[in-house]
Each structure stands twice: as structure tokens, then as C-alpha cells.
């Protein structure tokens, strides 16, 4: 049986896959693991809750899972205080959650008998020093009375000090080293006769105990009580005798030698806030109804949720003669539900905050960066623009453009990208774009303009750490048809000439905001009739599922195809083809070509711009 458990658990271990259809499934699985870990609930319960959240909010499951990951993918701050629950830290090592360990726990939760999965502690020489409970079946029990989940995080040397010195310990070490399972026993331990099976599972040890000397009927009854974490009791009102099952003593953590709780002791454990529920249950019982109620009691330093189902045998007038009932400890279920509700509340707050920030950043971006419906007519140039927002709605970036005639009759073209997303990126984008427009009054030299923008970004970075941006600035002289350009850590412009597209060789220039007093070089080339110049931000060529070189090659093929398909009006054809959003980043595209006598109005080609 132990080998079957080990095989079942091993089959549930996460495996790395590169199949394209697996990304969404892995996102959901990661979210389920994080949610179960934060709420301390089973994986199945976390998965059901994730499905329920998606259905109630009308959102795709993967989108909901992404929100869970963004909220919970970080150090667990520990259990948040829950009304009515004790915040006393348990003695012993704190169990750290890991999604795979939760999967092991999920299997052991439904495993009959006593089974435990241990992580390994070794001494400086590398020998097995101790085993720590990481997952455990409900029926596992230690001599001190700790049972099931109460053992998690505890060392086997504390609960079974004799096992470290026994002949079983070297066998456990051998199983860990070789991976070959072992069967030990039968052997006598305490008042029982046991066999233990040991299997290596990952880097840990899975142990399964079988007791041979319990009666089948009593074993099944005790196993049922432990599996359901419930006990039963009777109260003979004629003789005033009260009987509790062993599991009921365990639920109340009471020494059986003290006998069942008296009515006064039982009432002293109850929480005053639950008095209305208790009163309603008493009224229902007096009417002759069966009672099914969940109440809170204080057991030691902890608050437990106990579900009680009680009924009575009555005389001819309906007076109770014997009361019998079942008490089930549902603390884990109730606290998990409350933690799930708390996580959902945090997700709702985060989603509202993100939605508000996204709306504000979007409005700011639209005000600062209006995209014209058609091409822009500039001296000697016709310029077309397209802005592609990120595929993920929550990402509003800092991509920007500039295309305007200068006072000397030349044309200034620019495209830039501020690192990050949200209102901060949008605000920085506005500052850089407006600064460029203002600086162009004093100089039209692209290198000098970038030097000033770098100084501004460095100043902003002192107020907002880790701020960085890239940009490319070009000046077009319509008389000589010459372009002088400079760049600051930006992807190279693409030049299409004679049916072939290639990136321009970049002059040197670091990113904006990285180096004080940075210097930028310029490059120049002639822009001939029939050429097409493409400035863009990195969202056009960078994608999650492909490398930068592949992305650049794809764009260059698209430019070649657009020019071949419409050699006289390539701008509209090009922008019609470059309209697929990058799911992870915004994209700004500026395409320009020299004006000739044969240039036609492109508005009908840019109706989708």
C-alpha cells in the first residue's frame, strides 16, 4: 500500500513542459498552489474557489489566476488575524508551504491508515540527523497524543525519540541514499505490533505504518472517527450518565481520566458571541427537532469550530430520555473559508486599485499622446502613426512619439519608451515629450536634444529611483533630403530601399537616466524617393514567445511585403499589417516616406489607424 501511495504522489509532482498549450494550465496551477498555501486549504478547495471567482466576476479563469499570482507571489506574511481566532504561535518549527508539498498532503488526506511524508535534516557530515513532518494522514498519531495536522513541522526525534537509536534509522538513511524502498517489521512499539514501509519521494521520505493487532470492527470505527475528525457521545437523563468516545476526548483535548465535560465546563468553553445560535438550537431541540449547529469553543489557547448534530429518544409526551449526538471538528474548513474570503477581498481591492490606475493612466496618455486619424503632411515627408496598447488591459505604458515641423523648415521625428507601466510611466512620458518639443526651439541637433533629455531623466530618477527610458530622434532636411539621427539605447530604425529592409547602424548613445553627462553621437543618410523609414518602440519586436532577432526579422519581412503589395502608397499597407498587439507591452510605430509629385492622399488607406 505504501508503494502505491508513493507512486500516486510521484505522479502528481509538477513537471516542466514547453508545449505551447501548457502556459495557461501552468498559470492556473500556480495560482491554485499559491491560493491554497495562503488560505491553508486543500488544492481542490482552492481550485473550486478560483472557478467560482471567475464565474461571479465574468472573467476568464487564466485572467483571475494571473490576478491571484500578482497578489500572492511573494513571501507569506503569515496568517492574518481572523476575528475569534487565536493568534498564538504554535511551539516548534513553522511549516513552510510549498505547492508540491500541498499536493502530497492532498493525497495523504484521503489515505487510510497512518502515513507521513518527512523532509530531511542532516548533520555536518551529511548523515541523517532528523526527519520533520511535512505532510501527514489524518490517522497518524504520536505517543504524546498529537494527531494528523498537529504533527506538521515537528521532528520525529521529539515524538519518537527511540527511533533515532533503533535499527530502523540506518534503513531510512539507506532508502534516502539508494531510492530502494524497504519494509521493516513486524516489530513491537508500545502496546502495538507494527510494520513500516519506507519510500524515497523526491528528496524526502514517505513512511506508512500498519498496525496488526487491532480488532477489525474497532479499527474501522476508530478509523472512521479519525478520518472524519468526529466523535460521539450519549447522555442518559434518567441516570445522568454521560459517555464520550475516544475521539471526542481528542477533539476537546481532554484527559479521558477526567471524564466528560460537565454542563458548566462545557458552557465555560463557549464564546459569548455565539449565544444567539445556542439559544436557537435549544429552542429547536425543545420542539423535538434534530439539532445541527456549528459553534465556536475555546480549547486551551485555540478557538475551534465544532459542528454538533444531536437528537434524543423521548417519552410519549416528547420529553427527552436519552440525548445522543456527534461532534465534528470543522475548524480547518471554517478557517479555510474565511481565509479564502479574505484573499478574495484583497484581490477585489487590488483589482479596483489597478482599474482606477489604468483608467487614470489611459486618460493621461490619450490627452498627452493623441494619435491622428490619418497621415501627417510635413515638409517633404508624409508620416503615418499607429499606437498599439498592450494585450493585457492593466498595462498602460510610457511609449510616445513626436513629429513636427521646426522653425527652420526641417522636420523633427522622435519615438521613445519609458520603462514600466501605469501612471508613473505615463507622467514621465509626458515630461519627456513636452521637454523635447520645448528644447527643439533652442536646437535641432538630435544628439544635443538627447543630451538634454538625459539630464532631465537623471533629475527625475533622483525623485523616482530605477527610472530609465530610451529614445531615437531624427531631423529631416527637406531641401537636401538628408536625415541626421541619434539614439539613446533604443532599437535601430528600419530603412526599406529597393524592396529590401534592414536596420540602420546605430551611433553610440546610452539609455536616458543611466549616466550623468552622457554623450550621444549622430549618423546621417539620404532619404530617397521610394524609401520608407520606420521608427518604433521595442514592443513591436519583443515578444514572450520569440527572441529579439526573430521579432526583428518578422517585422522586416512585413515591411518588404507591404512595399511589394503597394509600392506607391506603402504606409497604409504597412500599418494595416502591423496591428497585432504585444500582450506584455505597448507599441508605438512611426512610418515616414519622402513626398514626390506622385504622392497620393493616404487617408483612405489609413481608415483603420
Residue range 354-398, pLDDT digits in tens: 666 556 555 655 565 667 777 889 999 999 988 877 655 444 567
How many other β-carbons are positioned within 10 Å of the β-carbon of residue 365?
Answer: 24
Length of the chain: 609
Instruction: Give the model's pLDDT for residue 352.
Output: 73
My answer on whether 322 and 384 are in the same domain is no
Same domain for 423 and 533: yes
> With pLDDT > 70 as the criterion, what percentage of the chain qualifies?
78
Question: Interior CA angle at 527 toward 522 and 528, to 5°?
Answer: 160
d(CA 500, CA 549): 17
* Among 292, 227, 211, CA closest to 1: 211
Classify residue 482: in a domain, yes or no.
Answer: yes
> Looking at the structure, do residues 475 and 567 belong to the same domain, yes or no?
yes
Q: How far is CA 387 from CA 26, 166, 266, 495, 581, in A?
A: 31, 72, 69, 20, 9
Question: Which CATH number covers residue 476?
Answer: 3.60.40.10
Kindly state whether residue 146 falls inside one of the protein's structural domains: no
Classify residue 81: in a domain, yes or no.
Answer: no
Same domain, residue pair 379 and 483 = yes
- List CB contacts of 290: < 8 A, sequence separation 6 or more: 309, 310, 311
Task: Please report which helix (H) or strand (E) contains residue 306, including its range.
Answer: strand 302-314
> What residues form DSSP beta bridges with 415?
401, 472
The phi and psi torsions of 527 (rounded to 5 degrees) equal -100, 105
Instruction: Indicate whether 511 and 593 sit together in one domain.
Output: yes
Looking at 270, 299, 329, the residue that finishes a domain is: 329
Q: Could you report the per-residue pLDDT of 275-294, keeping only the tens digit for each?
A: 898 889 889 888 888 889 88
Q: Which set of grid coordinates corresponds to residue 340?
A: 479564502
Are 321 and 381 contained in the same domain? no
Say if 561 falls within a structural domain: yes
pLDDT in tens, 233-247: 888 888 888 888 888
Q: How many of the other CB atoms lie within 10 Å of CB of 238?
A: 7
Q: What is the mean pLDDT of the chain?
A: 79
Vertex 581: Cα angle to 22 and 375 (nearest 5): 170
Please count the other Cβ atoms lying within 10 Å of the Cβ belonging to residue 495.
Answer: 19
Read off the pLDDT of residues 414-455 as tens digits, 9 standing for 90 and up.
Answer: 999 988 766 677 778 888 988 999 999 899 999 999 999 999
Global pTM reads 0.45
**Among 575, 584, 524, 134, residue whose Cα is nearest residue 374:** 575
Residue 520 lies in a domain: yes
In a domain, 36, yes or no: no
Residues forming beta bridges with residue 136, ordered by sequence position = 116
Q: What's the number of domains the chain is made of?
A: 2
User: Using one digit for the tens of pLDDT, what is the confidence trace for 296-337?
Assistant: 989 888 888 998 888 888 888 888 888 888 888 888 877 777
Q: Which of 305, 275, 268, 310 is nearest to 289 (CA)?
A: 310
Is the same domain home to 510 and 590? yes
Q: Which residue has the cell 444531536?
A: 310
Angle between the 22-39 and 99-109 helix axes, to the nearest 10 degrees?
Answer: 70
Asked if residue 340 belongs to a domain, the reply is: no
Q: How confident is the model at residue 549 (pLDDT cuts 50, 70, 90)?
A: confident
| pLDDT (0 to 100) of residue 12 | 41
User: What is the per-residue pLDDT for 525?
Assistant: 95
Tens-digit pLDDT profile for residues 19-35:
334 567 777 777 777 77
One domain, residues 276 and 375: no
Smallest Cα–Cα separation from 369: which of 419, 420, 454, 437?
437
305 and 433 co-located in one domain: no
Q: Tell me whether residue 568 is exposed, middle or buried, using C-beta atoms within 10 angstroms of its C-beta: 0 to 12, 13 to 18, 19 or more.
A: exposed
Average pLDDT over residues 183-205: 84
Q: Is residue 384 part of a domain?
A: yes
Domain final residue, candidates 300, 329, 358: 329
More confident residue, 46 or 581: 46
Helix axes 2-11, 99-109, angle to 10 degrees: 140
At 7, the pLDDT band (50, 70, 90 cuts) reads very low
Q: In the predicted model, what is the mean pLDDT of residues 177-185?
A: 89
506 lies in the same domain as 593: yes
Residue with cell 481550485: 47
Q: What pairs with residue 208 in β-bridges?
A: 115, 197
Q: What is the pLDDT of residues 81-120, one digit of tens each?
A: 333 333 333 344 434 445 567 778 878 876 777 899 999 9
- Host domain of residue 289: 230-329
Q: What pLDDT score was predicted for residue 397?
A: 66
Going 127 to 129 to 135 to 139, the CA torsion angle's sign is positive
Q: What is the pLDDT of residues 124-143, one digit of tens each?
A: 888 999 999 999 888 888 88
453 in the same domain as 523: yes
If asked whether residues 551 and 433 sit together in one domain, one would say yes
Q: Which residue has the higher pLDDT, 329 or 345?
A: 329
What CATH number is given to the structural domain containing 268?
3.30.450.20
Amino acid at each position: 500500500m505504501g508503494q502505491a501511495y508513493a507512486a500516486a504522489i510521484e505522479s502528481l509532482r509538477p513537471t516542466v513542459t514547453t508545449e505551447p498549450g501548457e502556459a495557461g494550465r501552468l498559470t492556473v496551477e500556480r495560482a491554485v498552489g499559491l491560493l491554497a498555501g495562503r488560505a491553508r486549504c486543500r488544492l481542490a478547495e482552492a481550485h473550486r474557489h478560483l472557478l467560482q471567482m471567475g464565474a461571479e466576476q465574468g472573467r476568464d479563469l487564466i485572467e483571475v489566476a494571473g490576478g491571484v499570482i500578482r497578489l500572492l507571489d511573494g513571501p507569506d506574511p503569515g496568517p492574518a488575524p481572523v476575528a475569534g481566532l487565536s493568534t498564538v504561535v504554535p511551539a516548534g518549527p513553522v511549516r513552510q508551504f510549498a505547492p508540491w508539498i500541498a499536493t502530497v498532503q492532498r493525497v495523504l488526506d484521503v489515505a487510510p491508515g497512518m502515513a507521513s511524508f518527512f523532509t530531511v535534516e542532516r548533520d555536518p557530515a551529511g548523515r541523517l540527523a532528523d526527519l520533520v513532518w511535512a505532510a501527514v494522514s489524518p490517522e497518524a498519531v504520536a505517543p504524546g497524543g498529537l494527531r494528523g495536522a498537529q504533527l506538521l513541522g515537528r521532528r520525529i526525534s521529539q515524538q519518537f525519540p527511540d527511533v533515532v537509536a533503533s535499527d530502523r534509522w540506518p534503513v531510512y538513511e539507506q532508502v534516502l541514499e539508494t531510492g530502494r524502498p524497504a519494509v521493516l517489521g513486524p516489530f513491537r512499539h508500545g502496546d502495538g505490533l507494527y510494520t513500516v514501509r519506507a519510500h524515497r519521494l523526491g528528496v524526502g521520505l514517505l513512511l506508512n505504518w500498519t498496525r496488526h493487532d487491532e480488532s477489525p470492527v474497532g479499527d474501522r470505527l476508530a478509523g472512521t472517527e479519525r478520518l472524519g475528525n468526529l466523535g460521539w457521545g450519549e447522555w442518559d437523563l434518567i441516570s445522568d450518565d454521560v459517555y464520550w468516545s475516544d475521539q471526542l476526548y481528542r477533539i476537546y483535548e481532554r484527559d479521558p481520566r477526567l471524564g466528560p465535560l460537565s454542563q458548566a465546563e462545557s458552557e465555560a468553553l463557549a464564546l459569548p458571541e455565539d449565544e444567539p445560535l445556542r439559544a436557537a438550537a435549544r429552542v429547536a431541540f425543545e420542539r423535538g427537532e434534530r439539532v445541527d449547529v456549528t459553534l465556536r469553543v475555546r480549547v486551551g489557547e485555540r478557538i475551534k469550530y465544532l459542528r454538533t448534530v444531536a437528537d434524543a429518544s423521548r417519552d410519549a409526551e416528547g420529553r427527552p430520555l436519552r440525548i445522543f449526538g456527534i461532534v465534528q471538528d470543522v475548524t480547518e474548513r471554517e478557517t479555510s473559508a474565511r481565509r479564502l474570503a479574505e484573499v478574495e477581498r484583497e484581490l477585489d481591492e487590488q483589482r479596483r486599485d489597478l482599474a482606477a490606475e489604468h483608467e487614470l493612466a489611459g486618460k493621461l496618455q490619450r490627452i498627452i499622446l493623441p494619435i491622428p486619424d490619418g497621415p501627417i503632411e510635413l515638409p517633404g515627408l508624409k508620416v503615418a502613426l499607429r499606437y498599439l496598447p498592450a494585450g493585457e488591459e492593466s498595462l498602460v505604458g510610457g511609449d510616445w512619439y513626436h513629429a513636427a515641423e521646426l522653425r527652420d523648415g526641417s522636420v523633427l521625428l522622435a519615438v521613445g519608451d519609458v520603462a514600466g507601466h501605469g501612471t508613473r510611466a505615463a507622467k514621465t512620458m509626458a515630461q519627456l515629450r513636452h521637454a523635447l518639443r520645448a528644447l527643439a526651439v533652442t536646437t535641432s541637433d538630435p544628439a544635443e536634444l538627447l543630451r538634454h533629455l538625459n539630464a532631465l531623466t537623471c533629475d527625475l530618477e533622483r525623485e523616482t529611483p530605477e527610472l530609465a527610458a530610451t529614445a531615437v530622434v531624427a531631423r529631416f532636411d527637406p531641401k537636401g533630403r538628408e536625415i541626421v539621427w541619434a539614439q539613446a539605447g533604443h532599437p535601430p530604425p528600419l530603412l526599406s530601399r529597393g524592396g529590401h529592409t534592414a536596420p540602420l547602424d546605430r551611433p553610440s548613445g546610452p539609455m536616458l537616466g543611466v549616466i550623468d553627462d552622457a554623450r550621444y553621437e549622430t549618423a546621417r543618410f539620404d532619404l530617397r524617393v521610394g524609401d520608407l523609414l520606420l521608427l518604433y518602440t521595442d514592443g513591436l519586436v519583443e515578444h514572450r514567445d520569440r527572441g529579439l532577432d526573430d521579432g526583428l526579422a518578422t517585422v522586416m519581412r512585413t515591411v518588404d511585403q507591404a512595399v511589394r503589395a503597394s509600392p506607391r502608397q506603402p504606409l497604409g499597407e504597412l500599418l494595416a499589417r502591423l496591428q497585432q498587439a504585444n500582450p506584455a507591452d505597448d507599441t508605438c510605430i512611426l512610418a515616414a516616406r519622402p513626398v514626390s509629385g506622385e504622392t497620393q492622399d493616404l487617408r483612405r488607406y489609413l481608415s483603420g489607424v
